């Protein structure tokens, strides 16, 4: 493989399984300019690495302590049927190499290795994987499925996961992307709702136009209307010039309204007008302005409950909820955690050049831990572990500390504030027997704002009503 070929070829991942450190180091030196190289000293270590990483080529030594390579081979193929496995043998073991081919090995190498043979073999293996990805892409496209060349790796438009619920979401995104349908995306915080919205936009006819994301809850109440719909010069004190709102900025593209459940009731009526009439009115304006946008909305609260509590318009709910996509929590799809960890490690390596992997027991701990913050929390833990690990292999002790196993670990400011707020609201509702009007007065908040706080912290007055 020439240097030019290396630049144009897809950078793959090679796992070298050999009990001799010198052999592993030699193969790394040969391939590391064109591939990411992982190492294992025996079959058990190799299987643990396969749980946490996407591997294209496995170079498997036949003679190792414990299980020989030919016995490890079927277990590797069971763990990842698409992995290309090459058996390394001594010249006198060619009969074993032939048997390995019958069991699913792609090829064999004889020791001592020739540099050109290793380079050529890696090139052929990666080309084979690229061809398999292309075939999968074409098959899924013809079948109407999520036609994405990364599907084989459990990836779809920057979303990572092979869980059946994720596969159904990929399928649904593919089906609705090219339609003008309004979509409501629900799920806990940190599950990737904005990624779904971006995937819909990226696969739509509007992909060349703006994607404008707005976190409604992050904008002060007094500025929400101006931010969304714009204002005319002189509309209010400080409005020294005309300003275009997010809907006008997104003309021809997509507007993503996150935390839609916190939108004020009067602005909900204006949003309903946008959906019905396809026009907006700037603050202080006297004539409607046509807008051509697709609206995608997301929330982590139950809008049906908000409708019953009269904090969210029922007619707007049904206009937004034409197609509903519910994102599963990370705890519901634990088998995707090793894939996500590998994805974040690769992302960090691309950004910073720092390449680290987790010890097998650390991956197991990540896969079994509780993740109330979902994917966002997992990503933060991985980034923290890479930054703090003093060795190329991240130890399980560091993961334990990140997950709160260390006695000195304190909750973040946001965690502490949210915990206090939820406890405070619960106590007030307990005192008032679930009477929201009385509770709002005690908290010195207006009734609407109090309902928003309840929805944000997933509390319902009915839970506290005295029976």
The residue count of the chain comes to 467
As given in the structure block, the two tokens for residue 178 are 């090219």
Domain boundaries, the chain: 3-136, 155-326, 334-402, 413-464
Residue range 334-402 forms a domain whose CATH class is: mainly alpha
pLDDT at site 140: 42
pLDDT at site 413: 62
Burial of 374 (0-12, 13-18, 19+ CB in 10 A): buried
Residue stretches of the chain with pLDDT short of 70: 1-11, 91-94, 129-155, 405-416, 466-467
Cβ proximity of 270 and 279 under 8 Å: no
Question: Average per-residue pLDDT in the chain?
Answer: 83
CATH number of 3-136: 3.40.50.2300
Spatial distance between the Cα atoms of 45 and 360, rounded to a whole number of angstroms? 8
Cβ proximity of 323 and 296 under 8 Å: no
pLDDT at site 316: 95
Same CATH fold assignment for domains 155-326 and 334-402: no
- CATH architecture group of domain 155-326: 3-Layer(aba) Sandwich (3.40)
Beta-carbon contacts of 442 under 8 Å, excluding residues fewer than 6 positions away, are 428, 431, 432
Note the pLDDT tens digit of each residue in 124-146: 877 776 666 555 444 444 444 44
**Could you give the dihedral angle defined by the CA atoms of residues 273, 274, 276 and 281, in that order, rounded to the nearest 10 degrees?**
50
């Amino acid at each position: 493989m020439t240097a030019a070929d290396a630049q144009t070829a897809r950078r793959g991942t090679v796992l070298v399984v050999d009990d001799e450190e010198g052999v592993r180091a030699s193969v790394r030196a040969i391939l590391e300019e064109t591939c990411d190289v992982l190492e294992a000293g025996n079959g058990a270590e190799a299987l643990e690495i396969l749980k946490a990483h996407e591997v294209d080529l496995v170079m498997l030594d036949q003679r190792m302590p414990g299980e020989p390579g030919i016995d490890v081979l079927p277990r590797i193929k069971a763990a990842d049927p698409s992995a290309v496995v090459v058996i390394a043998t001594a010249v006198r073991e060619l009969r074993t190499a032939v048997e390995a081919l019958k069991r699913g090995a792609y090829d064999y190498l004889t020791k001592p290795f020739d540099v050109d043979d290793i380079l050529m073999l890696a090139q052929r293996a990666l080309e084979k994987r690229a061809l398999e990805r292309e075939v999968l892409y074409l098959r899924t496209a013809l079948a109407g499925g999520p036609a994405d060349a990364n599907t084989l790796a459990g990836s779809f438009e920057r979303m990572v996961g092979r869980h059946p619920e994720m596969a159904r979401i990929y399928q649904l995104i593919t089906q609705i992307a090219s339609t003008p349908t309004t979509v409501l995306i629900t799920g806990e915080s940190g599950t990737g709702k904005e990624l779904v919205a971006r995937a819909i936009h990226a696969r739509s006819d509007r992909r060349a136009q703006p994607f404008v994301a707005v976190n409604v809850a992050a904008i002060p109440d007094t500025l929400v209307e101006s931010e969304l719909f714009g204002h005319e010069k002189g509309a209010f004190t400080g409005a020294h010039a005309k300003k275009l709102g997010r809907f006008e900025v997104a003309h021809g593209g997509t507007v993503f309204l996150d935390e839609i459940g916190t939108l004020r009731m009067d602005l909900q009526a204006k949003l309903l007008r946008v959906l019905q009439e396809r026009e907006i009115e700037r603050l202080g304006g006297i004539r409607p302005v046509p807008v051509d946008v697709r609206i995608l909305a997301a929330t982590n609260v139950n809008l049906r409950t908000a409708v019953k509590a009269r904090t969210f318009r029922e007619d707007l709910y049904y206009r937004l909820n034409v197609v509903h996509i519910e994102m599963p929590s990370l705890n519901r799809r634990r088998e995707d955690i090793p894939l996500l960890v590998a994805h974040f490690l690769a992302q960090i390596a691309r950004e910073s050049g720092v390449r680290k992997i987790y010890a097998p027991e650390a991956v197991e701990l990540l896969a079994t831990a509780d993740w109330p913050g979902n994917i966002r929390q997992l990503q933060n833990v991985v980034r923290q572990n890479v930054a703090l690990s003093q060795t190329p292999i991240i130890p399980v002790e560091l993961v334990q500390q990140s997950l709160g196993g260390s006695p000195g670990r304190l909750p973040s400011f946001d965690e502490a504030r949210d915990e206090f707020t939820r406890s405070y609201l619960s106590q007030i509702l307990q005192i008032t027997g679930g009477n929201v009007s009385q509770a709002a007065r005690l908290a010195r908040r207006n009734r609407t704002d109090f309902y928003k706080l309840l929805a944000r912290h997933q509390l319902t007055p009915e839970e506290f009503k005295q029976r």
